[in-house]
A and B are shown apart, each in its own frame.
Chain A
Amino acid sequence: DAGVIQSPRHEVTEMGQEVTLRCKPISGHNSLFWYRQTMMRGLELLIYFNNNVPIDDSGMPEDRFSAKMPNASFSTLKIQPSEPRDSAVYFCASRPDSYSNQPQHFGDGTRLSIL
């Protein structure tokens, strides 16, 4: 079975540009999470979707960040405009449903570098 698929694997762009990260959850999983990993702050939850609806976006750092889930098989995390401090590894994870106590399955992450 395919796991969580993220693209691109690496992204390098200049400050001020728009960045879009993509995620395809595991088929049949209704819960989707976006995380950011940095040396200083470790792994932080940015936003959580259930059945395509954002449930908890309290971790989204500021208005430059936005996330959408237009359907059950696709989500995007967008940064506009990007800044060097946004450089990090961004992970997407999915789980069967909101009230499942099953573990989250992670994608391979996107390493984002903002110059």
Chain B
Amino acid sequence: AQTVTQSQPEMSVQEAETVTLSCTYDTSESDYYLFWYKQPPSRQMILVIRQEAYKQQNATENRFSVNFQKAAKSFSLKISDSQLGDAAMYFCAYSTFAGGTSYGKLTFGQGTILTVHP
């Protein structure tokens, strides 16, 4: 079974600075997807970024980028120019590749609470 580990229960950053959230996972599969979801106090689950394991290039979405190290099974999220609105719980998630008998099941890490200081 796949597992996802976020070793940082809490992180903090100053506004306009950069912060990196860590995530490691365990799998025997070669094809899969990785995600970062943001959960603000409003409780919504918002997709931040998505990485396909077969792509070597790291995904980027505006101020958000990932460092995907497939061999190390590491998937960290970097937030540049942090803003107050970035304060939230961040979840790393692994998805099996949907195809054949697999339906693309999501497994979540325990989350990292990010605080942004003005």
Q: Bound state CA distance, A93 and B93, in angstroms?
A: 14
Q: Of A42, A101, A103, A111, which is within 8 A of B108 by CB? A: A42
B residues with CB within 8 A of A? 33, 35, 37, 42-45, 47, 50, 52, 91, 95, 97-99, 103-106, 108-111
Q: Of B37, B42, B98, B111, which is within 8 A of A100 by CB? A: B98
* Contact of B111 with A42 in the complex, beta carbons under 8 Å: yes
For the complex of A and B, list the 6 residue pairs with the smallest distance between their C-beta atoms, beginning with the closest: A106-B45, A43-B108, A99-B98, A103-B47, A42-B110, A101-B98
Question: Which residues of chain A are within 8 angstroms of B91 by Cβ–Cβ distance?
Answer: 43
Most chain A beta-carbon contacts within 10 A, residue among B35, B91, B95, B98: B98
- Give chain B nearest CB distance to A36 CB in angstroms: 11
From residue 33 to 58 of chain A, which have CB atoms closer than 8 A to chain B?
Answer: 33, 42-43, 45, 48, 50, 55-56
* Contact of B103 with A55 in the complex, beta carbons under 8 Å: yes
* Contact of B43 with A31 in the complex, beta carbons under 8 Å: no
Query: 10 A-B contacts, Cβ less than 8 Å apart?
Result: A48-B105, A55-B103, A91-B45, A93-B45, A95-B104, A99-B98, A99-B99, A101-B99, A108-B42, A109-B45
* Contact of A101 with B105 in the complex, beta carbons under 8 Å: no
